[in-house]
Structure 1
Amino acid sequence: MISFHLLREAIIAVQERPPTLAGEALTAGKRKELLEAPHLAELINEIHVEAERAGREPVPPLSFADFQIVHSSGSRKEYEKPYFERRRRLLALGLAMALDDTDAYKETLENLIWEICNEYAWAVPAHLPNSIEQVLAARVPPNRYVDLFAAETAHALAEVLYLIGNRLNDWVTHRVKQEIEQRVFQPVFESSHHFIWTSMTNNWSAVCGGAVGMAALLLIDDRERLAGMQDRVVSAMDSFLAGYGIDGCCPEGFAYWRYGFGYFVYWAEMLYEFTRGTIDLLKQDKIRRIAQFPAAVVLSASACINYSDCRPTIRPPTGMISRLCSRLTIAPPAMTSVPSFHDDHCYRWPFLVRNLLWTEPERLHAPGAVGIFYFASTDWLVVKRETSKGLLAFSAKGGHNHEPHNHNDLGHFILHTEGDTLLADLGMGVYTREYFGKERYTHLHTSSLGHSVPVINGEQQAAGEAYRAVVTRNDTENGTVNFEIDLTHAYRPEARIHALHRCFEWKVCQDEARAELKLTDHFVFGEASVETERSIIEHFISFHKPVICNDQVVWQGEKGSVVLRYEPSELSAYVEAIELPSRDTNPLSAYCLRLYAGHLNQIYACRLVMECRLH
């Protein structure tokens, strides 16, 4: 990415730490501009409401009982809810003081920071060793283990000091610097051993590296030491970028693009500001392609193509995207408003602060990109067309079943009608110990039972890199997009399938605001199988309840519908209502349409037609 020689040269040349490292200098004029900006009014109101609440309510405790629950039951929410409530308050109080230039929240903020500094570990228990034996064998103790959230805490506290540290009690600022030095800087930068995340090719290397890198840029005065620190961050970022294909697709999904690539951008821009433009890590072809990823996968202001562990509804980070559009001269995805203060349940500092400081209102309500987008590195196809009444979109994927944040979803597809994703991806499940362990594919969100793919002779898709799809056709002919996938090797031998080919034909009639998807699954069963044992169940997943009527199934959205036509003499249809666990107490509802066919010939073709129409 950049040699240590050039990195060191640029850093030691800096005489004074610039006032723009947090994104902008918060001068009196800038504060006035932010407080009066119409597009920020709702967000700033939320900040003040949360700051006032923090002043009235006591800081939630982090008890040992909650700390150990993840190791006894696998549940993370008991400890993480109060943990992130503390970060929520830090974000609100820090920004309220910075924006208002008032000390009204000073005592509350100082006490909160002191409590955060008192925490046993900044890493969450789910990321710590499971037993005392493992703790004793570990290279670093729990209070010096740097995971995603320890790194994020260090950066958040460092940026609070950068913005308003001169107004806080000297004891508090000293304590923060001491804790960050001992808990984060020393274990990450002073040891010859590297944390495993420095070599990971997923979001961890970018988030941990970017957060500790920014904390160092904000706090470390020794330029030689700082240069060495940033060199280690560069190494982690090289690992992170290796996880992306040259086409810029994020295999972890759009939510992790926002997370991992977000921390890369926040760090890279802080380094750019620190070196007064000498080091510009955004000006790389691959970075530009990664930056354009949202334009392909964002469908509306809150909907996206959400393969992997990505929520079905997620708002683009308007600040980060505005900065990328300005710096790289690219078009934004569909965005209508700045995300809420509560959009990120972890209340990560840079997302909200950069949304506040970087969002350019003219980027909001700009038309989203349309066209055909294909990512060869992951075999994702996205087709978006504007019609006379709004957007119609189709997407399908290949790949393999050992991707980052993997779901067993080869051949899965999504249909979207102007704001409603009517055939959907369930997205991420509730993060528990089991969700990232051996039991991962017992969860509906991650198993192929939770995706719009067939079950063959009672067998679902298997996990592992050996279980993969092969794209055999990807072209457009007379306005019809043809996408064909060989799914033969997505299943274990127990499926007794000799061959399975899934074919999509997608055509949009823009003037009539409708589209047609022809879906054909060609099955060739193994010669040893017998007719009475041969069966398939086609699954179709949605958050909208399908209605079966004669030879049709209808999914009705607010502005459009999908109608599936099938042959009742060949396929029997039934709908299962599914309650999905969520982080909240109320479960989510989803629906699975199942089309069953049994006693099949050795060669069988399941042909279905779906019409999408906007009203």
Structure 2
Amino acid sequence: MKNLISYILVFIISFSALGSGKTDNSLDLLCKNFSQADLKNSLLNNAEWVPYPSYSDREGWKKLTEPVFSNIIEKGEQALTYQWQVVKATDYLAYERDGSRGIMEKPMNKNATALSNLFFAELAEGKGRFLDQIINGVWYFTEMSTWSLSAHVPAYQPSKRTLAQAGVHVVDLMAGDMGSLLSWIYYFLKEDMDKVNPEISSRLKSNLYSRIVEPYMNRNDMWWQALELKENKMVNNWNPWCNFNVLTCLLLIEDNENLKIEGIYKTMRSVDKFINYVKIDGACEEGPSYWGHAAGKLYDYLELLSLSTGNKVNLFDQKVIKDMGEYISQSYIGGDSWVVNFADASAKGGGDPLLIYRYGESVGSLEMKQFAKYLLENRPNKISITRDAFRSLEDLRTVESIQNETAKLPNNPNKWYPETEFLYIRNKDLFFAAKGGFNNESHNHNDIGTFVLYKDKQPMFIDAGVGTYNKKTFSKERYDIWTMQSSNHNLPQINGYEQPFGAKYKSKNASFDGKTNEFKLDIAGAYPEEANINSWVRKYKINSNELIITDEFDISNPNKENIIHFLLASEPKIEDGIVVLNNGNSSLKFDPKLFEATQETIEQDDPKLSNVWGPRIYRLSLKAKKVNSKGSYKFIIN
């Protein structure tokens, strides 16, 4: 039980509650622009707003699924003999006992994927061939004690244990996803399931209500709702993601119109908290890997709200919504789908092209639409049918309209996010990104002042990202993980100290001069008081083919040598005052009178990291030869 307590802080202490971002309650874009009466007057019934053919409309489904019909049927046929996997009690207990998440998540995900494949195959073919196995899947899920993941269950149960308690349901990401998928199954296939036995759809609807709608309506204490948000608390991608799933259930299964209006308006109040929290510059502090479930899920939520109200409740004319969308195109570097990956984000990605296109279409962003077409042209699979039924259905609606778009990447020379303190600079050869901020951002790394640098769209100076989630990733032991530590970023270790975790550890006076391409900030506040740092001003200046880094510092009574760390994608070769990089194509120059240079190899035995970087990456460390209270360092990368 003692170990459990540290693990169940997963999204409560580390990321899901604590934070120091902006929560500007003056925005409240949804509730200040639209009253509950406005919602009631504009809400359409399902038959009016659902933009897809009815199940019986065979011509409609033939046309909609034509681009991927054979693939949908193939996956459905494979699932006809699927053996539904039992998620055992001991699978849930494993998280409590040793912190294992995957042991229960893998069979749960396989079952969800099988059900989704069967559902879309039946929609596409319409002959009832997949119906019995869909019923088996529906029956299986309604017999489960919980749809939530073992890592998320304890926080909201009186027992604080990982086994589900009778009558207590938690709306987490997985439960929400299942609620959304099963609501669409109920909507499209209710009549045909009733022909087999009315108990099937009745039982399904009852479970959707008790597992999703009821807990959402009766509770305000699920952290992601942010309805009891205290000052300086965090709101992240869970908010729009979960609210989108709840909205789907409400729209498709709630018969009581007053309760439906009340529930939808509650989601609007909740989603307002996410929009309020996100910096007004639109940057996603969680990184591109999470954009699809942060701004991307906000888009899904707003699109569903717009569809269901005949476009009456709509925020797509708001600049902050557009800026949140264009973050994904601005963060793209190129090459092998490299992206700027601060925090837990992976350095490879790019995003879902059809989602990005729809988002761009709604907010009037040519940049997003052209970027989406660029991504799509480089994808072998144009449409991915997943358990996210709404996105899959929307992809089917979108794939034809994107064909006439021009493929193009953004070409603006720089992008400065002044509130989030992210800076991107691109020229013909280089892509540079750096950050300020504070050390309690969502999916935080202790990384204030770090940078990444790519030459010819290939990585040189990197941020490793995050490995496979485990019991430490979202616990009080998070910063025992090497990828989270400032000494494994492109940052100084000052007077023997690394950056610690906490909202009070932040940058100061971050600024960008677009005329000189210089970014500077004081990172002294990112280090603990006992480091005795009065100031440490780091400057980055990009010229046509070089990056100049200068560090000017003032430390009271230092007793340890400073060490400047650099994380590298390829093996360096250290010479006298020069570090040869990228097989001789680049170099880092330093003053050999000031520093002793060493390197170490960091083996990548975690597949989530090795799939990005290969079997190893490297850390270059420049250790000062003297302990000085004041001084300056200069590094030239060319």
Of 579, 582, 605, the match for 2:603: 579
Q: What pairs with 1:197-216 in structure 2 (closer than 5 Å)?
A: 197-199=224-226, 201-216=235-250
Does the alignment pair 1:375 with 2:400? no
Does the alignment pair 1:414 with 2:452? yes
**C-alpha contact (below 8 Å) 2:537/2:553 kept by paired residues:** yes
TM-aligned CA deviation for residue 451 of structure 1: 1.1
CA deviations over 1:454-487 (Å, ceiling 9, x no partner)? 112331111112211113541033xx40111111
Counterpart of 1:505 in structure 2: which amino acid?
A: K
Of 168, 177, 187, the match for 1:162: 187
- Structure-1 separation of matches of 2:617 and 2:331: 22
Match of 1:566 in 2: 590
Does the alignment pair 1:427 with 2:454? no
Judging changes above 3 Å, is the alpha-carbon distance between structure 1 residues 342 and 202 closer, same or farther for their aligned structure 2 residues?
Answer: farther
Partner-residue secondary structure (3-state), 1:144: coil
Does the alignment pair 1:605 with 2:632? yes
Does the alignment pair 1:246 with 2:274? no
TM-aligned CA deviation for residue 367 of structure 1: 2.7
Of 213, 220, 224, the match for 2:258: 224
Match of 2:541 in 1: 505
Does the alignment pair 1:488 with 2:512? no
**C-alpha contact (below 8 Å) 2:281/2:323 kept by paired residues:** yes
CA deviations over 1:528-552 (Å, ceiling 9, x no partner)? 23xxx43122222234333445544
CA deviations over 1:346-403 (Å, ceiling 9, x no partner)? 9544444433433423447333343211111111111123x3xxx6311100011111
- Structure-2 separation of matches of 1:180 and 1:15: 21
Q: TM-score, normalized by length of structure 2? A: 0.83
**C-alpha contact (below 8 Å) 1:11/1:227 kept by paired residues:** yes
Q: What pairs with 1:149-548 in structure 2 (closer than 5 Å)?
A: 149-168=174-193, 169=196, 170-189=198-217, 191=218, 193-199=220-226, 201-300=235-334, 302-330=337-365, 331-332=367-368, 333=371, 335-337=374-376, 348-359=388-399, 360-363=402-405, 365-385=407-427, 387=428, 392-477=430-515, 480-508=516-544, 515-526=545-556, 528-529=557-558, 533-548=559-574
- Structure-1 separation of matches of 2:455 and 2:127: 47
Q: Which has the higher contact order (CA 8 A, sep 6+)?
A: 2
TM-aligned CA deviation for residue 142 of structure 1: 7.0
Partner-residue secondary structure (3-state), 1:534: coil
**C-alpha contact (below 8 Å) 2:421/2:510 kept by paired residues:** no
Match of 1:511 in 2: none
Structure number with the higher strand fraction is 1
Partner-residue secondary structure (3-state), 1:94: helix
Judging changes above 3 Å, is the alpha-carbon distance between structure 1 residues 521 and 9 closer, same or farther for their aligned structure 2 residues?
Answer: closer
Counterpart of 1:370 in structure 2: which amino acid?
A: N
TM-aligned CA deviation for residue 596 of structure 1: 2.1
**C-alpha contact (below 8 Å) 2:146/2:164 kept by paired residues:** no
Counterpart of 1:431 in structure 2: which amino acid?
A: Y
Match of 1:512 in 2: none
TM-aligned CA deviation for residue 518 of structure 1: 0.4
Farther off after superposition, 148-157 or 367-376: 367-376
TM-aligned CA deviation for residue 427 of structure 1: 1.9
Farther off after superposition, 584-593 or 450-459: 584-593
Match of 1:145 in 2: 170
**C-alpha contact (below 8 Å) 2:494/2:562 kept by paired residues:** yes
- Structure-1 separation of matches of 2:628 and 2:340: 36
**C-alpha contact (below 8 Å) 1:12/1:227 kept by paired residues:** no
Counterpart of 2:425 in structure 1: which amino acid?
A: V
Partner-residue secondary structure (3-state), 1:337: helix
Farther off after superposition, 211-220 or 424-433: 424-433
Farther off after superposition, 354-363 or 498-507: 354-363
**C-alpha contact (below 8 Å) 1:127/1:147 kept by paired residues:** yes
Counterpart of 1:456 in structure 2: which amino acid?
A: I
TM-aligned CA deviation for residue 582 of structure 1: 3.8
Q: What pairs with 1:35-114 in structure 2 (closer than 5 Å)?
A: 35-37=65-67, 47-114=72-139
Could you list the runs of 5+ residues in structure 2 that have no partner in the other structure?
Answer: 1-29, 227-233
Partner-residue secondary structure (3-state), 1:393: strand
TM-aligned CA deviation for residue 429 of structure 1: 3.2
Q: TM-score, normalized by length of structure 1? A: 0.86
**C-alpha contact (below 8 Å) 2:238/2:293 kept by paired residues:** no
> What percentage of residue pairs aligned between the two structures are identical?
23
Counterpart of 2:595 in structure 1: which amino acid?
A: L
TM-aligned CA deviation for residue 563 of structure 1: 2.6
Output the aligned Cα RMSD.
3.3
Farther off after superposition, 423-432 or 68-77: 423-432
Judging changes above 3 Å, is the alpha-carbon distance between structure 1 residues 212 and 131 closer, same or farther for their aligned structure 2 residues?
Answer: closer
Could you list the runs of 5+ residues in structure 1 that have no partner in the other structure?
Answer: 509-514
TM-aligned CA deviation for residue 488 of structure 1: 1.1
TM-aligned CA deviation for residue 604 of structure 1: 3.0
Judging changes above 3 Å, is the alpha-carbon distance between structure 1 residues 58 and 550 closer, same or farther for their aligned structure 2 residues?
Answer: farther
- Structure-1 separation of matches of 2:212 and 2:165: 11
- Structure-1 separation of matches of 2:239 and 2:595: 48
Match of 2:21 in 1: none
Judging changes above 3 Å, is the alpha-carbon distance between structure 1 residues 591 and 186 closer, same or farther for their aligned structure 2 residues?
Answer: same
TM-aligned CA deviation for residue 12 of structure 1: 5.3
TM-aligned CA deviation for residue 10 of structure 1: 4.2
Judging changes above 3 Å, is the alpha-carbon distance between structure 1 residues 600 and 23 closer, same or farther for their aligned structure 2 residues?
Answer: farther
Counterpart of 1:129 in structure 2: which amino acid?
A: P
- Structure-1 separation of matches of 2:447 and 2:172: 29
TM-aligned CA deviation for residue 102 of structure 1: 4.1
**C-alpha contact (below 8 Å) 1:417/1:561 kept by paired residues:** no
Partner-residue secondary structure (3-state), 1:434: coil
- Structure-1 separation of matches of 2:132 and 2:412: 51
CA deviations over 1:155-199 (Å, ceiling 9, x no partner)? 11112333444444444332221111111111111x264533211
**C-alpha contact (below 8 Å) 2:434/2:449 kept by paired residues:** yes
Counterpart of 2:395 in structure 1: which amino acid?
A: N
- Structure-2 separation of matches of 1:482 and 1:540: 20
TM-aligned CA deviation for residue 4 of structure 1: 9.8
Judging changes above 3 Å, is the alpha-carbon distance between structure 1 residues 452 and 346 closer, same or farther for their aligned structure 2 residues?
Answer: farther
Partner-residue secondary structure (3-state), 1:435: coil
- Structure-1 separation of matches of 2:595 and 2:454: 25
Counterpart of 1:475 in structure 2: which amino acid?
A: D
CA deviations over 1:220-263 (Å, ceiling 9, x no partner)? 23322211110110011011111111111122222222102222
**C-alpha contact (below 8 Å) 2:610/2:616 kept by paired residues:** no
TM-aligned CA deviation for residue 569 of structure 1: 4.4
CA deviations over 1:192-226 (Å, ceiling 9, x no partner)? 64533211622222111111011111222332221
Farther off after superposition, 329-338 or 484-493: 329-338
- Structure-2 separation of matches of 1:307 and 1:251: 8
- Structure-2 separation of matches of 1:59 and 1:137: 22
